[in-house]
Structure 1
Amino acid sequence: MAKRSATTRMKGLPKKFFDRNDLFVAYRKAKQDVFQEKTQANRLAFSEYEKHLNANLETLHSRLTSRTVNWFRDLNFIGDVGFIPKDLHLASTASESESEPHFSQSDPDESWKRQIQAMGGENPTVSFRPMAAFTVDMYIVCTLWVNRVGAHLDACLDNTAKGSRLRRHQRSEETGTIGGLHLDAIGSFPPYYYAYKEWRDDGLKAIRLELEEDRKVIAITMDLTSFYHRIDAGFLLDDAFLEAVRFQELSGHDLTNEERLFTRQLVRAFANWGEEYADSSDAPCVGIPVGPSAPRVIANVLLAEFDQLVQQKLDPIYYARYVDDIFLVIRDHGQFNDGKDVLSHLCERIEPLDFNDDGQELHLKLRYAKDSQLVFQAKKQRIFALSGEIGHDLLDTIQSKIDEISSEWRLLPDLDVLETSPAARALAAGKRPNEDVNTLRKADDLSLNRLSFANLLRDHDQLLNYLPPSEWRSKRHEFYKFAERNVLSPSRVFGLVGYFPRLFGLAVACRDWKQAESLLKRTVRSLTTLKETTTLLTETKTSDTWKKFALTLGRVVHETLIQCYPLSGKKPSDARSVNLLAGQISELLGFESDSERLLIEQSRELFWTDLGRVPFKDGILGYMQIPKCPLPSWEGGIPDEQRERHAAIREFVKSVGQDVKKTRPLLLPTRPLSVAEITELDQSTVSDLTKLKKFVHAIRGTWVRPANDHEDGDWSTATRVTIGLGERKRQPRIAITSLAVGDSSWAMAAAGKPDLSASRYKCLTKLVNSIIKSKTRPDYVLLPELSVPRRWLPGIASKLLRQRISLIAGAEYRYDKSVVFNEAAIYLVDNRVGYASAHTVIWQQKGLPAHHEREELRSKFGLKLAEPQSSRCLKRVYNHFGFEFGTLICSELTDIEHRQIFRGQVDGLFVLSWNQDLESFGSLIESASLDVHCFMALVNNRKYGDSRVRAPYKDAWERERARIKGGMDDYFVIVELDIDAIRDFHSHQLPPLGDRAKFKPTPEGFKISKSRKRIPGT
């Protein structure tokens, strides 16, 4: 292979091409982009860089704009290469003959030996994928290029390109032009999952629609071999490329001389990096690195002309591309006899597409990418001829295999079913590592295994947030053993080792030191077995690819050890165990750790730069005690363009009673506060939409709906708050729960030590999951007074809110020295800032304690209920997408003034109760439904029961819409509230009588609010 000259002189960029803010923004985006890449060890490097951020960015600016520019030739500036597993392939064995009976060996090591023996001396083959292990400076350069040049190229792609698309502002409704690059967003790319899900699900939907019309279709999925590593990035400045993608027309931009120069420098940097580690074949290119942001954009736009040709020449039913994964659906007119006919048809229609000399592979020869090798993998091409009911059956099989596992993300992790969940069953099935199920390309065995293990890891990570480690130690240890058997075995570890750091980190965070050691040794033992029994398909010049891979894994695992070290840990045994593990990582994986430096200090530095396992925002939210800041103060301040944002974050930090030092991590976050968390911390933002938008934009960097006088002007009064734009599409449904909470749990919360036991968690989890899985989906879930530990509330609410279900729950006491706070936590679906995933949290405080509650707190704990706070104790009307309701906490219902506040103002009144005087409260509910004249919903502790929904219907048999009591298990009932009917009734000048009357007459003095009034009968 002919090397490019490394001595060609190239002038530097003008100093004004980048300003200080450009570098700051690029750093913020690069930090987030790289943080999401779990296969690279770079968190410590970013943390070190951020200590002296301004000085480092100034040095970088000088390097990029120097007259004697050479950064693109300096591998010390660019960085190293890392290796991750790519493919483990076992050839067919004699034992797979149809004449042989099936035999399965459950022991993973014995199973591997048997497979090797059955291959008759032909070793399995393994291959590795080179990955970028760049310096922080190089990651920033990549993001700079994306912001200055790559964004214009990305604008040339249409909606068929689903993956690796840049974050942009919304498309202009007036001109239809694509929105500009969202520079304020934290990262460069949105989460991959949603785009990938759209790529897959829209294709399946298109097929199903055609089959329903009794039309035959051909579905094709395929991808390119070693895509990134066979791209010559020099095509970027080829006029033929710019013309083919209609660059000037679609981007509205001409590349300047400086942008062309910067692009040439970046291309040269990638070439020099690639030449150092490229294979020894005569390939015309050295590829581009996997991992950084710039190569993702480059790889995506390379296929822009192919997207156009497919749509123009094939007129497909469906076509979409997730980077290099193609999903194509065309009509079947009966001209295809086999897959070769289908591929030949594609080649006839799409000129750059053709078979290679032996007719086995498809080559894509784009006129502007002559030095790139674009070959579709024959073994990953899937072609399905679908028709009729059989086609429907196959689609159902595909969908069920995907949904069975992927749907688990909706639910709270259930301790009782972790080992028997679909994810666990898929991993324990014991299939060959290269065995595909009969589905489309991305539902193959390896993909499902990865999804399964990712789901299990996510569940265990969530459990660590919900429960003290001691409460679920046995379940966790069972999971480690399960992973050793089914994930870290020789046949599975190669494809799933990328998830090992998360598993290892779980053990470290839980102080399971012996188990962490065992997991590490098991992984190394399986990898050693693979190295000894497989043949390496050498694809690089590196002398020892296995050694480089071990070093890459060692760096990641060592960084995970630091990242997951318990911040609250002061036990001497912790430090000893961590140092022992660090030494074992060095010994087993060949990585030399910095054993001289205390790992606890590095762990805290990662936390304060929001690069640790625990997000920095958890400290702001009060879930943990924030350790002392170990970072030096910044010199030189921040760019002028960031001062408004910085000032808004400082204002927020002060408003929630935090030290302004905590502004810095919020300025450069990897996991920023959500909209719900912002409203939870600063309750004034619930009603002050202008303030909420300011904080959301400053903290999250996300787009917010532009100010609108009609929408933003009158959101609330002292007694009314409006949440959500638009009207609801149907009558609201509420889930009335019957949940038992023991007196011991009440006492522990009052003592400031909430009951976070596994048994209690399991009961609540089963109830919430059953609501989420219910075929009749509610809009609101009501949980009794003092029923949910505050630490669990965000997790429970988030699962419900993702399904568009709001939560109104009685939170356990908030303990503050000699007083406790009894509050209702109201989590509401919201869209006021401009997107549906934004939610609002409202805390409504109980003003005065019930008599029994006052006596119990005083006599047992020397406590009293906190004095009423004017803002939090207000009994306000919540207008939620047109449904107007109020909330009271137990004994507040006995205050006639509270009922007076809501009369004529609400469609429903929710009462969260812990009450044993059922007779008195029963009478109150019945009378309140008549004098407030609305739907009354009460949820009570199952210990006493009588949760119910009551309405002022004329006919007595209709008034009790639901009433539940007793039973040994927690359960729920869903009730629909006919608010249109009751509003219609209230809107008459005089109450309807006789047969026209659906409800009892309104009480004397009743007056409907303007917002609820409607024209009767409409």
Structure 2
Amino acid sequence: MERSLQEGKSILAITMDIEQFYHRVSPKFLLRKTFLDSIKLSLYRQESIFTRALLAAIDVWYKSTPDYVDRPEGGIPVGLSASKIIANVLLSNFDNELVDRLKPIYYGRYVDDIFLVFENLEGLTTARQVTKRIADVLAPELVLESNDTEAPSLKLRLPYAKDSELLFVGKKQKIFALSSSHGLDLIQHIREQIRIQSSEYRLLPAVPTTGVRRASKALLATPNATLQVDALRKADVVSVKRLGVSLLLRDLEAYSADLHPESWSEIRKEFYGLAKRHILTPIGFFEFFGYLPRIFGLMLTSRDVREASQLIEDLIAVANLVKRTTTVGEAAQLPKFRLCLVQYAQAFLQAGLQAATERTLKLDRQYLKVLHALLGLDKDIKIPTSLRCLKTRAHQILLADWGRRPYKDYWYLSQENDEKGPPIPRQLEIQRKIRLGGIRRFSTQSTNLKIPHWPALAFPTRPLRIDEIALVAPNVLSDPVQFKHAILVLRGAKVSARSHLGFVLGSEAGNEEPAIFIVPGHSKKLIGVAITSLETTEVQWAKAAKGKQDRSIERYRNLNGLVNQILRETKTPDYIVFPELSIPLRWGLRIARKLAANGVSLLAGVEYHRDRTTGRLRNDSLISLVTDWPGYASHVARLQPKFFPAHGEKVNLANLRLGKRGHFFKPSGLYVKPTLYVHRGFCFSILICSDLTNIAHRHQLRGKVDALFALEWNPDIKTFAPLIEATANDLHAYVAQVNNRTYGDSRLRVPAVEDYLRDVVQVKGGISDYYVLGEIDYLALRKEQCRPPRKRKFKPVPIGYKFSPLRKKAK
């Protein structure tokens, strides 16, 4: 569009969609000969049998819906994955005909939403003229519906789908005539709004701090000119409100997962008030059906039982008001309205039972009483009759992986006994299809967890992600074949990559060389690094050592805000680095996932936590490295432990009088020596604070690293300053020191010739958390190390320095 406008063309941009698309599409066309011939497809016998079975299942479902009475021809269910495919296949011929005949500048379609741009050669000025032009070009498949409105409707007649009603309704069409610089201004504005809107999905949860801002973000959108549009098809008020509510509710649900309920109760209560005023209304009763059950689930998960009971009471009051004052209370409409109430009751019950699976939730009689209040919406709804029945049902839902809490979370955090599960199918073919043998081998050979409930892993709703597999079963990182097999049996996806991921042979403990960990990907010329200056207090340190991490709303907001600031940078860094013992592990894993979705890797010191096997205290760095090794954008994560506690750390832990609980974890195997990471060709290592003082560790890394990251909680900055400077010279590499903000002196040091260039970044002090961006020019460093130029940027390599062949090969 922009290019056409810059060329001086006048263009027409049209958005339209098909009215009640899913309700009026009959899927029977899939097996009709006329359709298969039109797309030049011949189905194999098994494909025909499978498709026929799918159509029979959809037909059985459709006959149970109220729509069947008014339209027996059929429809497809909203939310079914196959429905989108069926919709796209149905309109594929229409797509081809439109592109061939109309020759648009741009044409795009998502299910039934169409965006069309073509040059306005005829000088069309009215909606009727535009729709007539489109109908004339695409006749006889597209017919102009005669009416007196300004924007007539267009009816699509597909010869192989005569039982489907496909109508592009005139009132939903938006037509824009764009030309000259005025059109360009609008395009630029839309681009900016798209960037702002998309950032909502890229960032970590950030709930507005005041009720006014929260309302303006989600609920108080107006249709006037001040509304910010992010598409040519200016969203109606309902769409804007739904988007705002969806984003806000998503953030609140993240808060619920990461925080103790007591720490953010005021925010929830304020949100409940906003929901009651702006969502739980006669209009909202219909427009926000999908969100009210989620709010109910949030209330129960957060132990707001009284508020959940009040929500049901208010919903019943609104339903009675609608019934009393509108046509739904009339005899002809009443059965459908009752069905609507039944759906509400079922949705609330589902949310309540799913919430009952949460680990920290206490199920009591009050909880059961709230669920029984749903009888006011549907007197026939089946609700657990006793507390014992409720707990049994909640556990069944958890084992089916249908709960609010994923089964995988229960398996590797809470499951204390082996699960027998239902009888295993006797047929070997079925066992192979559902990968039972592979699941059994993974759980017994790769992990030290209890025997899982096999249906939850064979038919998961939230399968283990790539990063979770590596964290649950670190052994797979030493065997790429085993890792690929684990991904296949747990995720049902093959990894076709031939490149290596994980530790390489020769990384064993007895070898003096560092362990080598390879993560493939496309290399970059410059490495962007965000050096954070984040404060963790002595009180927070002590709480973490005692197993009572500070998960307050203030700390959560500060941390998320800092990460979001970095993600908003015009030039996003490749790595974000946090100090030693700075982030709770649970938060760190969530941050790593969000950063990986943005193509950013994370190196962070996580707070003390207990080793699953020994129960000892671990001081780890969380390493999350992005990769496309599985065939799609993903990341691999591992925990690298500190080798030994610092002298002061050991004394301070002893002062807490933790007894055996204060014993420090002793690494073994691959964990007893530094790890050399080769990430997308960039070679680096990580040492945690006092581990840097061991000269043997630095000796093992000499010549092998482009950069060394030192994650620290270090008050003795005077001693470490010359150590960092010497390390940069001895290793002839970049050294990133990232320290607790309380003490400062976080820096990115480089062995540069010029003194003023040696600290790429250096920060200290401040009363709030912040970050500084720096760049690592590792290719220039390697080039000088191999072939020194006349005019040097870096100092000469030290005597005895040997350039590692691995760095020559790394790409």
TM-score w.r.t. the length of structure 1 is 0.73
Report the counterpart of residue 580 of structure 1 in structure 2.
369
Answer yes or no: is the 8 Å Cα contact 1:402–1:448 preserved in 2. no
Q: Which residue in 1 is equivalent to 2:493? A: 702
> Residues 274-313 of structure 1, C-alpha deviation per residue, up to 9 Å, x if partnerless?
6x74355xx6835444444555444432222211211111
Matched-pair contact (CA < 8 Å) for 2:500–2:519 = no
Q: Which amino acid aligns with 2:730?
A: D
Give the unaligned 5+ runs of structure 1: 1-206
- Please state whether the residue corresponding to 1:440 is helix, strand or coil: coil
Which of 639, 649, 664 aligns to 2:439? It is 649
TM-score by length of 2: 0.91
Task: Give the distance between the partners of 1:713 and 1:912, measured in 2 at CA.
Answer: 22
Preserved contact between residue 13 and residue 117 of structure 2 (Cα < 8 Å): yes
**Equivalent in 503, 525, 544 of residue 730 of structure 1:** 525
For 1:618, the equivalent position in structure 2 comes to 409
The answer to whether the Cα contact below 8 Å between 2:22 and 2:78 also exists between their aligned partners in 1 is: yes
Superposition deviation, residue 913 in structure 1? 0.6
- Seen in structure 2, the aligned counterparts of structure 1 residues 570 and 957 have a Cα distance that, compared at 3 Å, is closer
Change (3 A) 1:853 1:269: closer
Per-residue CA deviation, residues 692-733 of structure 1 (Å, 9 max, x unaligned), is 111111111124225x3x657994541343544344233001
- CA change 1:967–1:635 in 2 (3 A) is closer
Select which of 765, 768, 776 maps to 1:966: 765
Please list the CA deviations of residues 942-990 of structure 1 after superposition, one character each: whole Å capped at 9, or x if unmatched: 11111111111111111111111011011111111111111011112xx
CA distance in 2, matches of 1:264, 1:964: 64
> Is the partner of 1:585 in helix, strand or coil?
helix
Q: Give the 3-state SS of the residue equivalent to 1:899 in structure 2.
A: helix
1:843 aligned onto 2:632: no
SS of aligned partner of 1:498:
coil
TM-fit CA distance, 1:803: 1.3
Q: 2:721 matched to 1:929?
A: no
* Identical amino acids, percent of aligned pairs: 36
Which residue of 88, 92, 95 corresponds with 1:300? Answer: 88
AA paired with 1:409?
Answer: Y
> What residue is the counterpart of 1:219 in the other structure?
13
CA distance in 1, matches of 2:62, 2:252: 42
Residue 84 of structure 1 corresponds to: none
Matched residue of 1:785: which SS?
coil
Give the alignment partner of residue 798 of structure 1, picking from 593, 605, 610: 593
Instruction: Say whether the 8 Å CA contact 1:828–1:840 is kept in structure 2.
Output: yes
2:511 aligns to what? none
Match of 1:996, SS state, is coil
Alpha-carbon shift at residue 454 of structure 1 (Å): 1.0
SS state of the match for residue 291, structure 2? helix
- In 2, are the aligned partners of 1:843 and 1:872 still within 8 Å (CA)? no
Contact 1:567 1:627 in 2 (8 A): no
- Match of residue 996 from structure 1: 791
Q: Secondary structure at the match of 2:798?
A: coil
Which residue, 311, 319, 340 being the options, matches 2:99?
311
Residue number in structure 2 paired with 1:905 = 704
Q: Residues 366-381 of structure 1 correspond to what in structure 2 (within 5 A)?
A: 366-381=158-173
Matched, 1:769 2:564: yes
Are 1:833 and 2:641 an aligned pair?
Answer: no
Q: Give the drift of 1:998.
A: 1.9
In structure 2, stretches of 5+ residues that fail to align are 508-513
The letter of the residue matching 1:216 is: S
Amino acid of the structure 2 residue aligned with 1:548: L
Q: Is the 8 A contact 1:948 1:963 kept in 2?
A: yes
Instruction: Note closer, same or farther for the CA distance 1:373–1:537 as it changes in structure 2 (3 Å cut).
Output: farther
Q: Does 1:759 align with 2:554?
A: yes
* Mapped contact 1:811–1:823 kept (Cα < 8 A): yes
2:379 and 2:40 mapped to 1: Cα distance? Answer: 50
1:231–1:287 CA contact under 8 A, matched in 2? yes
Which of 313, 322, 333 pairs up with 2:121? Answer: 333
| Structure of higher RCO (CA pairs closer than 8 Å, 6+ residues apart) | 1
Give distance in 2, aligned partners of 1:697 and 1:372: 39
Amino acid at match of 2:204: L
Q: 1:771 to 1:480 in 2, by over 3 A?
A: same
Q: Partner letter of residue 828 of structure 1?
A: L
SS in 1 for 2:289: helix
What displacement does 1:872 show?
2.2
Deviation by residue 1:508-552 (Cα, 9 ceiling, x = unmatched): 1111011112222233333433333334599x9876111011001
Matches within 5 A, 1:178-577: 207-248=1-42, 253=44, 258=49, 262=53, 265=56, 269=60, 272-273=63-64, 277-280=67-70, 285-293=73-81, 295-351=83-139, 352-358=141-147, 360-415=152-207, 417=209, 419=211, 424-429=216-221, 439-441=231-233, 443-535=235-327, 544-565=335-356, 567-568=358-359, 574-577=363-366
Query: Does the 8 Å contact 1:555/1:591 carry over to 2?
Result: no
Moved more, 970-979 or 576-585: 576-585
> Whole-Å Cα distance in 2 between the matches of residues 256 and 756 of structure 1?
53
1:430 is displaced (CA, Å) by 5.6
Is residue 984 of structure 1 aligned with residue 808 of structure 2? no
Spell out, residue by residue over 1:560-590, the C-alpha distance to the aligned partner (whole angstroms, 9 max, x if none): 111102544685xx42222221221111344
The 3-state SS of whatever aligns with 1:787 is coil
1:938 alignment partner in structure 2: 737
After superposition, the Cα gap between the structure-2 partners of 1:987 and 1:787, relative to the gap in structure 1 and judged at 3 Å, is same
* Residue pair 1:605, 1:631 contacting (<8 A) in 2 also: no
1:821 is aligned to 618
**Equivalent-residue separation in structure 1 for 2:745 and 2:786 (angstroms):** 32
Q: In structure 2, what residue type is equivalent to 1:941?
A: N
Deviation at 1:480, TM superposition (A): 1.0
- For the 8 Å contact 1:735–1:973, the answer to whether it is kept is yes
Q: Using the alignment, how far apart are the partners of 1:827 and 1:224 within structure 2?
A: 44
Q: Which amino acid aligns with 1:757?
A: S
- Matched letter for residue 676 of structure 2: V
In structure 2, the partner of 1:747 is 542
Give the SS at the match of 1:443: coil
Distance 1:823 1:344, change over 3 A: same
Aligned to 2:719: 920
| Structure-2 residue corresponding to 1:132 | none
Aligned equivalents of 1:740, 1:584: Cα separation in 2:
47
> Could you say what secondary structure the match of 1:634 adopts?
coil
Question: 2:355, 2:403 within 8 Å by CA — same for their partners in 1?
Answer: yes
